[in-house]
Structure 1
Amino acid sequence: MAALSGKIAWITGAGSGIGEAAALSLAEHGAEVILTGRRAAPLEDVAARIKAKGGTAHVQPADMMVASAVQAIGSFIAEKFGRLDILVNNAGLNIQPRRWAVLTPEGVDELVRGNLNSAFYAVTVALPLMRPQKDGVLIHTASMAGRNISMLSGAGYTAAKHGVVAMSHTINMEEGINGIRSCAVLPGEVATPILDKRPNPVSAEERARMVQSEDVGDLIRYVAMLPKHVTINEVWITPTHNRSYVAALNQKL
């Protein structure tokens, strides 16, 4: 029997990148997955690949920045399954005008709603489903920008991801007594479509040396499969060829 057989997993931002990789990995190991993202077509493609390999997937499109839409997904999960074992809280975004000189109130709203509000909304849906079963794991895609301050990711994204990391730790503080575990996954540079939003283009050669979506998906699967008495509170995953380290080495001291 597959290690995650009988487990219900909800993945947000599941249509591409890390969310897609996590959904495929969890389904491969037996989980029944709910796929959420803003666009139905990519979700349907991921679901089709899961089903082609004998897995079970349910497409539930939603804009995670809209609280009522997130609550509707929660109602679907509660009515169809009556439980939730794994949340991969992965939806997120960045924008190109990210420096203070060009950042607008509208950009701030998009960054905070897309990275922090959306993560909180998903948790408020997941916890009521997990508490009665005294079990469950929440895995949040944060970022190295959630621990380190740099100009690369921009002020809004950096602040929001710091919020996601703090949120995850507070879940463990309150919900560990209910058998619920929360893990903040902090990737460094990952070759995902979000790189297309960088103000400066990233070459194919540079992307090839980065962490790949499948690497993070496999890490998420590992965390999801840990025994109930184990919590990984926070984990970093970065490229061996770390461009920030290389840049520091090349500086003249």
Structure 2
Amino acid sequence: MTFPGRFEGKVMVVTGGAQGIGRGVGLRAAAEGARVLLADRADFVEAVAAEATGETVGFQCDLETSQGAQDAIAAAQARFGRVDILVNNVGGAIRMRPFAEFSPEQIEAEIRRSLFPTLWGCHAVLPVMLDQGGGVIVNVSSNATRGIRRGPYSAAKGGVNALTQALAMEYGQAGIRVVATAPGGTAAPARRVPRNAEGDTAQEQTWMAEAVAQVTQSNFLKRYATLEEQIAPILFLASDEAAYITGAVLPVAGGDNG
């Protein structure tokens, strides 16, 4: 379901916009009137942007770095003149295993993947929103702050939740809302860029199956969400319909609030 004109006159930047939830958010926002920049390190992000209705562009950058986030926001400003909405969507567990089985390097990689892109995105866009007198940041977190086999990812998303609340308090009087959704397990098409480029061993596949079972059994609906069930709450929080909501982390996880 779309709401034509809901984002008319708005400029939205969606990170991780080449696939999954980010792709869906960007394409639907464009259908609802937004001018959209999809930022992603995948080289097919421009092809995804070409699928959209309205004025939508793809921008390739590494959002795990401060420079990548700065470049994405600068590109949106150069193209559209402002940034009204930032959806920080980059993240996702690279590996699933008991915490004691993670190497230090793997722990650091999980934090870089699932916390730093949101930190850098907020840091890059806040000066722009302060200068223009307002804006909305929607962070995509996770209910996996309580879950098994994803300790470093859980810690990263806990950081996203804390950042959301801290920035909402700090910048509310400047007209900037900062909110988040906390998705649970979500069914999505196979990723064109794999979660773990090294592939999963047989043991890692077993650990992953244990995590999938926990996610399904601990939610009240006993199923994964659809992509649309995750996209819709993000766009609601980004819209003027949610004008009095800030600092909130909305669980979208079938009752398992993490």
Q: Return the TM-score normalized by structure 1.
A: 0.83
Cα separation, partners in 2 of 1:48 and 1:161, compared to 1, 3 Å: same
Q: Deviations over 1:10-40 (max 9, x none)?
A: 0011111111111112111100110111112
Distance 1:72 1:44 in 2: 16
Task: Map residues 33-112 of structure 1 onto 2, 5 A cutoff.
Answer: 33-41=36-44, 43-50=45-52, 54-112=53-111
Task: Map residues 96-245 of structure 1 onto 2, 5 A cutoff.
Answer: 96-146=95-145, 149-152=146-149, 154-192=150-188, 193=190, 199-201=207-209, 209-227=223-241, 229-232=243-246, 233-239=248-254
| Native 8 Å contact 1:14 1:20 kept in 2 | yes
Structure 1, unaligned stretches of length 5 or more? 245-253
Q: Deviations over 1:226-248 (max 9, x none)?
A: 247411422111237x7x9xxxx
For 2:168, the aligned partner's letter is: N
Cα shift at 1:61 = 1.0
Cα shift at 1:138 = 0.6
Determine helix, strand or coil for the equivalent of 2:51. helix
Question: Which stretches of structure 1, 4 residues or more, deviate above 4 A after TM superposition?
Answer: 193-198
Cα shift at 1:69 = 1.8
Determine helix, strand or coil for the equivalent of 2:115. helix
**Percent of matched pairs sharing the same residue:** 29
Q: Deviations over 1:141-175 (max 9, x none)?
A: 100023xx2214x1100000000000000111111
Determine helix, strand or coil for the equivalent of 1:158. helix
| Native 8 Å contact 1:98 1:156 kept in 2 | no
| Native 8 Å contact 1:87 1:126 kept in 2 | yes
Distance 1:184 1:128 in 2: 20
For 1:237, the aligned partner's letter is: V
Work out the number of aligned pairs and report it.
Answer: 233
| Native 8 Å contact 2:82 2:128 kept in 1 | yes
Q: Which moved more, 1:222-231 or 1:164-173?
A: 222-231
Instruction: Give the aligned CA root-mean-square deviation in angstroms.
Output: 2.6
Cα shift at 1:209 = 3.5
Cα shift at 1:118 = 1.1
Structure 2, unaligned stretches of length 5 or more? 197-204, 217-221
| Native 8 Å contact 2:94 2:195 kept in 1 | no
For 2:148, the aligned partner's letter is: M
